[in-house]
């Protein structure tokens, strides 16, 4: 197993892509902390990991709170002794669909408070432990909407925050490279999570899929291989990079 004895934190792992990645890391031998605002959902992921013979721990976490993220990381270290991998997948729910100029300042700030600030606070919390180990992996989640910008005004703050994640990744990689810490970005395309199924019509999903090289909907499981690769020693000389995983719709 490629991640045996490694300790991973996956934020937003109560469902969707985060859950798929948490389960995938566990199958590769990692001990996985599920850092999730919804503790019930996190506990379900934990139970699935345990049922598969892995080691998991659900921790109620608000990634936009410095106190909460610091407490979460301390709980992980207390339980597992170290932290090797941080995957920042938590994201704010979609905003109302309306023209961009009707968005309030509060609505503008919401995606930044989770998608970007969460990356910063969780990275800040794990850094002392990774620095003392002389190694670590941080994987931040952006979105393919950054390169294939949708027209809906309500996504302007979301796309802006996800674009900022790429800048955060590249800059952080410069700051922590001397400590043996890799920082990279994964950029998923539209993925058939339960949230997407509820919000998008079948026609939208079919049309989106038809624009891909691989003409099928993306599944949460499609992100697991890239996440495991970036978490493993196979990517030890890769940092500051963005990997688009969208079936070839918006090739970089």
List 101, 129, 158, 204, catalytic entry: 158
Containing 86, the helix (H) or strand (E) segment is: strand 85-88
Cα separation, 81 vs 92, in Å, equals 30
DSSP class per residue in 166-233? HHHHHHHHHHHGGGTEEEEEEEE-SB--HHHHHHS-HHHHHHHHHTSSS-S-B-GGGGHHHHHHHHSG
Q: Which two tokens stand for residue 90?
A: 């938590």
Q: State how beta strands 181-188 and 7-11 pair.
A: unpaired
Q: Which two tokens stand for residue 150?
A: 């949708």
Cα separation, 175 vs 178, in Å, equals 7
Does residue 158 carry a catalytic annotation?
yes
Q: Phi-psi region for residue 29, left (φ > 0), alpha (ψ -120 to 50) or beta? A: left
Contact 2, 208 (CB under 8 A): no
Cα separation, 122 vs 9, in Å, equals 9
**138 in helix, strand or coil?**
strand
Q: What is the largest CA-CA distance in the chain?
A: 51
Active-site positions read 158
């Amino acid at each position: 197993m490629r991640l045996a004895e490694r300790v991973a934190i996956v934020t937003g792992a109560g469902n969707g892509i985060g859950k798929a990645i948490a389960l995938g890391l566990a199958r590769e031998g990692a001990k996985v902390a599920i850092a999730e605002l919804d503790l019930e959902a996190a506990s379900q992921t934990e139970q699935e990991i345990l049922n598969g013979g892995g080691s998991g721990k659900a921790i109620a976490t608000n990634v936009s709170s410095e106190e909460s993220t610091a407490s979460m990381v301390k709980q992980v270290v207390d339980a597992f002794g170290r932290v090797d991998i941080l995957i920042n997948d938590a994201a704010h729910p979609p905003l109302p669909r309306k023209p961009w100029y009707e968005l309030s300042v509060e609505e503008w700030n919401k995606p930044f408070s989770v998608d970007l600030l969460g990356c910063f606070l969780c990275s800040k919390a794990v850094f002392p432990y990774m620095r003392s180990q002389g190694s670590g992996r941080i994987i931040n989640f952006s979105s393919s909407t950054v390169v294939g910008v949708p027209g809906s005004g309500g996504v302007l703050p979301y796309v802006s925050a996800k674009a900022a994640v790429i800048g955060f990744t590249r800059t952080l990689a410069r700051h922590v490279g001397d400590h043996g810490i890799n920082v990279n970005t994964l950029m998923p395309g539209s993925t058939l999570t339960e949230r997407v199924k509820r919000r998008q019509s079948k026609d939208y999903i079919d049309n989106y899929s038809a624009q891909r090289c691989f003409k099928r909907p993306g599944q949460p499981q499609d992100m697991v291989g890239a996440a495991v690769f970036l978490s493993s020693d196979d990517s030890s000389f890769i940092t500051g990079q963005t990997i688009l995983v969208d079936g070839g719709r918006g090739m970089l």
